[in-house]
Amino acid sequence: MLSQYIERAMSRAVYDQLEDKTYCGRIPDCPGTIAFGRTLYECQNELRLVLEGWLLVKIRHGDTLPVVDDIDLNKGIPVLKETPAHG
């Protein structure tokens, strides 16, 4: 399910070629996901890594994730509870 979510989110990515001929990519459905690369291919690969990291942070903090193409990861995501420090 997570792999499908990533693939669908990546298919919604928007890329722009910048004045210096490098690329900038972002996923509008996932605020804060942005990446840059010398080539479109590099930008796509970097954006995938950014998305994966973004998802890990959102899940770790129990944040609500956007629904992408009817894939709702909010159903059944286990939220890790903080354990008190032993001391």
Pairing of strands 14-17, 34-37: unpaired
Domains of the chain with bracketed CATH: 1-87 (3.30.160.250)
Distance CA 56, CA 67 (A): 16
Distance CA 81, CA 61 (A): 10
> What pLDDT was estimated at residue 78?
52
Token pair recorded at residue 49: 């890594």
Distance CA 76, CA 2 (A): 12
Phi, psi of 76, rounded to the nearest 5 degrees: 90, 10
In sequence order, the 6+-apart residues with CB closer than 8 A to the CB of 70 are none
Q: Return per-residue pLDDT of the chain as tens, 87 residues.
A: 789 999 999 999 999 999 999 999 999 999 999 999 999 999 999 999 999 999 999 988 989 999 998 888 887 655 556 666 665
